[in-house]
Amino acid sequence: MLASILTITLIIGGTALLSWPLGRYMAALFSGRFARADRLFTHAVGGAGRQDWTAYALALAAFNAVMFGFTFALLATQHLLPLNPDGQSAASLDLVFNTAASFTTNTNLQHYSGESTWSYLAQLAALMWLQFVSAATGIAALAALARGIAGKPDMGNFFIDVQRAAFGLLLPMALVLAALLALTGVPMTLAGAAHVTTLEGTAQTIARGPVAAFVAIKQLGSNGGGFFGPNSTHPLENPDFWSNLLQMSAIILIPMACVWMFGRMIGRPRHAGVIFGVMLALLLVKVTAAAAFEQAPTQAFADLAVTQDVGNLEGKELRLGAATGPLWAVLTTATSNGSVGAMHDSLNPLTGLVPMAGMWLNETFGGAGVGMINMFLYIALAVFVAGMMVGRTPEYLGHRIEGREMRLVVLALISHPLLILGGTALFAATPWGTDMLNNGGAHGFSEILYEFSSAAANNGSGFEGLGDSTVPWNIATGLVMLIARFLPIIVPLAIVGSLMAKRRSAESAGTLSVEGPTFGVMLLITILIFGALTFFPAAALGPIAEHTALMR
């Protein structure tokens, strides 16, 4: 138990400390303080034209549409292209659509096993490239939102921001992490699969490839897509304790730093401290709950004449430690990472509820950039409710929040549960979902619920007791991922654009302070009430019902 506590403290506490200087660097990067780099970026896009929210959103949407089209074409024709030493064949178009949508939206939901589906060219030039630029898109959008709230006359330039994020942040960090992972034993080669003879004299084919480079950006960019099918439980993706520690820290480092970046760009570091505290409190509650719920042994041992005092070991990669499985499950769903260090389908029912809750709330640090954007929606809602309670016009940092802004806030917030619960209801009531289940009852419902939660949260993890590589699943989750990615980015930009068009008010003694513990508590309550009221019925039908049945 002590070792588990020390591991959790080292990963979360150490990463939180590292996030502070990284956040300062990111704020300086997106504030244009590196003139030489900015001149290179400006030259690359042919000018530094300033953009309002509509131009910024259109540029973001057009850039991602081109990314999607390029990736779709490359994946669909991989069998005709080079860098395919293992002779991967053509994939079905519905899987190509799902995969292109998944990686364009920073989701990395995988309805395939990477080493047996895609060529090296597809993995590198399409999927790994998207892990850089999709993460850069989210960070760029946060920078634009922060400029608007700070009172700047425009939101900057999307093409410059995405280059800053990709080349000034993600690429150098990925190079360092990839080198460290290679030192721990993660492969980095363009050679084909290794063909070996085992000690028993049988032939074995061992897939390998440019794994270290792929894994580095998958974790840093809140991507999560594995080079191998078993993802981060695979010994070539995650060989030992140190690779495990590096990868878990990388999952939450940039999302944490984005909070400090936001605070510095708007000139309110104390406000960022309150937001960071709320996010950290939610994260620690989820980690504690997951660790506690997973102390109960799996029901598979319920009738055996043995005792088990080490908790649920089913589905865990024991060479990495039993405690890191539930910890990874929380970290990967608190962010929009989606990589897995244990089989989520084997978690105890209430433990499985914890990662679902992380994806439902979708702002406990969240994805690279977009986690803080999601939190902005909750901040606007909390400010509006507080203003109505005391009879004052709601204001956030001098910006008046009125009916138009709240309608947009509600649109963005309500779209998330609609996509999750609507998709779950459709597939739970039709053969599209029920025929693909390996488990019936409440657990089977949880598998469907988890899949749509993962797609709508742009997370990418799965319970995996589900046969989801079918045409209905590929099309449905692909559409959910696309809507859930761009609606919650573009709508907040529209909200801030609306605020920028108004005259900014001077703050007074009667203005709601967003830099103290009172606002932190109010924000926390707003998040919990919205999440509980929206998703509790679905939780009651899935994990809670399963837990109750097992208790009986």
Q: Which helix (H) or strand (E) segment is 28 a member of? A: helix 2-30
Nearest to residue 498, comparing CAs of 415, 401, 414, 412? 401
The first and second tokens of residue 328, run together, are 């990874």
With H, G, I as helix, E, B as strand and everything else as coil, classify residue 512.
coil
Q: Say what the pLDDT of residue 287 is.
A: 95
Report CA dihedral (118, 119, 123, 126) to the nearest 10 degrees.
Answer: -90
Report the greatest alpha carbon distance in the chain: 80
Q: Say what the pLDDT of residue 46 is.
A: 65
Q: Are 119 and 84 in contact (CB under 8 A)?
A: yes
d(CA 94, CA 8) in angstroms, rounded, equals 40
Local structure of residue 230 (DSSP, 8 states): T
Q: Are 34 and 28 in contact (CB under 8 A)?
A: yes
Q: Say what the pLDDT of residue 191 is.
A: 84
- pTM value is 0.93
Q: How far is CA 479 from CA 105, 422, 473, in A?
A: 11, 13, 10
Query: What are the domain boundaries of the chain?
Result: 2-193+205-266, 271-551
Residue-wise DSSP of 342-376: B-GGGS-HHHHHHHHHHHHH--SS-STTHHHHHHH
The first and second tokens of residue 1, run together, are 């138990």
Q: Which helix (H) or strand (E) segment is 259 a member of? A: helix 241-265
Nearest to residue 261, comparing CAs of 159, 156, 145, 172? 145
pLDDT tens digits, the chain, 552 residues: what are they? Answer: 677 788 889 999 999 999 999 999 999 999 988 877 777 777 666 666 789 999 999 999 999 999 999 999 999 999 999 888 888 888 999 999 999 999 999 999 989 876 778 888 998 888 889 999 999 999 999 999 999 999 999 999 999 999 999 999 999 999 999 999 999 999 998 888 888 888 888 888 888 888 999 899 999 999 988 888 788 888 999 999 899 999 999 999 999 999 999 999 999 999 999 999 999 999 999 999 999 998 888 776 666 655 556 678 888 888 887 788 899 999 999 999 989 988 888 899 999 999 999 999 998 999 999 999 999 999 999 999 988 887 777 889 989 999 999 999 999 999 999 999 999 999 999 999 999 998 889 999 999 999 999 999 999 998 878 888 899 999 999 999 999 999 999 999 999 999 999 988 877 666 778 999 999 999 999 999 887 789 999 999 999 999 998 877
d(CA 435, CA 439) in angstroms, rounded, equals 10
Say which amino acid occupies 291. Answer: A
Q: Which residues neighbour 55 within 8 Å (Cβ) at sequence distance 6 or greater?
A: none
N-term to C-term CA, the chain? 29
